[in-house]
Amino acid sequence: MENNRSHSSSTSQQAPSNNSTLSSTSNSKQAAANKQRNQSYSYPQQRNRSYQEQQQQNNRSYPQQQQQSNRSYPQQQQVNRLYQEQQQSRSYRQRQGAASSSRNNNSIYSNNSQSLSTNYAGGTDRVDEKMRRESRSKRFGNACANQSEINYSRHNAVGAGVSTRRNYYQGGKDTAVKEIDADSLSVKGTCQALEKCFLRLTSAPDPATVRPEEVLEKALLMVQKSQKNYLYKCDQLKSIRQDLTVQRIRNELTVQVYETHARLAIEVRDLSEYNQCQSQLQELYAEGKKGCDMEFSAYNLLSIILHSNSNRDLLSAMSRLSVNARKDEAVKHALAVRAAVTSENYVLFFRLYKEAPNLSTCLMDLYVEKMRYTAVKCISRSYRPTLPVAYVAQILGFSSVLLPDEPSDEKDANGLEECAEWLKAHGACLMDNTGDFLLDTKASTSSLFMPKPEVEVAHGDATLSVNDFLTRAFS
């Protein structure tokens, strides 16, 4: 029993010592955690404190830097201004030295340069302005003096046939551009030869090679009565036109020459020469020269209607027609052709083609191919199943073809054959019915085409083909 008591007392004595060690260890851990927490809190505070100190230091130094820059900026600006003035004065001296050509300018320049070197530090701007004003006054003073001399020379040159057109200042020298008065250079021909080849002028005309007006009248009659080909007549007429132009002759003889040349060009379908003559005739008619203005007004309308796609030109030509011109038969025929072409009325077109006055048929010939193709396409869509070729030949304007039921014993076989060949060449289907050809309209609807010309020209205008032109000219 005593042993047990002694053991319990010993254990009771050891318990407080263990409790004290546990409390000490927990206190040390808590102190370490508090220390670590305080360190984590103090680091941002230290960083904020250092940033604030640096910002205060920058705020103290910025006024000092600004003050230093404000002190140095005027000095730098003054240095830049002096440098610019030096460069301007140097470039000005170079320009002044290149432009000065007289002794007075050299003396002024030397005085100004000396004053510039002595007063450069204080008044360079005023010296440069003074030099610029002096040079400007001298330049404009010389220009005014030269203008007065030019006006005086122009007044004296009026009687000599030469007039000045423009005066300008170039490279320190005054130059007058002169234009030649054509009236003073017109020549009077003395040549008496009736025939003369056409050559373009490369120099001033020689009176010895130019024919006077009375000789030109005889030359025109010779060309009109000549039986030679178109090339010879065209060469002679162009030579006559050149002599008239050189001598500035614009009268009824000039109108006759251009009208003769235009008619010959229409006969052989030479549209380039015709257009040249037509343009000159319009000017001569506008000047009041007498001629066949009604006839050539009709030709002008036909050429625009058939060979131009410009409605503006057509309306302009129609607006220039007078009341008397609209009553002329040739002009009325041209206006009727215009209505037929616009509406594609091929029946009216070929009826007018057979009734064309003067040389209108020659101009309409150039449009016949297109109108015939349009007519055949329309016929093949409108008639079923077949149609006599004789009727088609009459509609398409071939030579006078008589229908079978008309009171006549003869038929124009040439017209029928020509029409049949034309239809075959354009893809139409023909049927032989006991000697009479019939057009199969249903089969021809899908087989018609416009063939290419036999002699195709590279530039597209067959009327300018050399072989075709020579063939028509010599025929």
Instruction: For residue range 172-185, list pLDDT tens digits in order.
Output: 444 444 555 555 56
Q: Do 337 and 307 form a contact (C-beta atoms < 8 A)?
A: no
- Residue 417, pLDDT score: 87
Integer angstrom CA distances of residue 409 from 276, 318, 404:
49, 46, 9
Rg (CA), the chain: 54
pLDDT in tens, 65-114: 555 555 556 666 776 777 777 777 777 776 766 565 445 555 544 555 55
CA angle, 66 then 68 then 69, to 5° = 65
- Residue 296, pLDDT score: 93
What's the gap between Cα 225 and its chain centre?
Answer: 46
Three-state SS string over 357-403 comes to CCCHHHHHHHHHHHHHHHHHHHHHHHCCCEEEHHHHHHHCCCCCCCC
* Distance separating alpha carbons of residues 241 and 265, to the nearest angstrom: 15
**pLDDT tier at 35, thresholds 50, 70, 90:** low
Is pLDDT of 422 > 60? Answer: yes
* Distance separating alpha carbons of residues 24 and 368, to the nearest angstrom: 132
* Distance separating alpha carbons of residues 93 and 112, to the nearest angstrom: 10
Structure tokens at 73: 């900026």
Half-sphere exposure of 140 (CA within 13 A, CB side): 5
Structure tokens at 432: 């032989």
pLDDT in tens, 355-398: 999 999 999 988 899 999 999 999 999 998 899 998 999 888 88
* Non-local CB neighbours of 385 within 8 Å, separated by 6+ positions: 440, 441, 442
* Distance separating alpha carbons of residues 436 and 82, to the nearest angstrom: 110
Place of tokens 């250092």: 50
Structure tokens at 56: 């205060």
Beta bridge partners, 387, equal: 439
- Residue 7, pLDDT score: 46
Half-sphere exposure of 99 (CA within 13 A, CB side): 16
What's the gap between Cα 178 and its chain centre?
Answer: 30
